[in-house]
Amino acid sequence: MILTTTSEAVRATVDTAAGGEAEAAWTCLVRRGMLHSECEAAEHWLLPRGSVLTTNPEHGVEEALLVLEGVLRLTTPSHEHTLRAGQLALVPRECRARITADSHTARLVSVRGLTASVTDRLPPRVPELTRS
Residue ranges per domain, the chain? Answer: 7-109
CATH class of 7-109: mainly beta
Distance CA 31, CA 81 (A): 28
pLDDT in tens, the chain (132 residues): 445 555 666 677 888 888 888 888 877 776 665 445 677 788 899 999 999 999 988 888 899 999 999 999 999 999 999 999 999 999 998 999 999 999 889 999 999 888 877 777 776 666 565 555
Rounded to two decimals, the pTM is 0.73
The CA distance from 129 to 20, in Å, is: 52
Residues 72 and 50: their CA atoms lie apart, in Å, by 9
Burial 38-69 (b: 16+ CB within 10 A, else e): eebbbbbbbbbbebbbebeeeeebbbebbbee
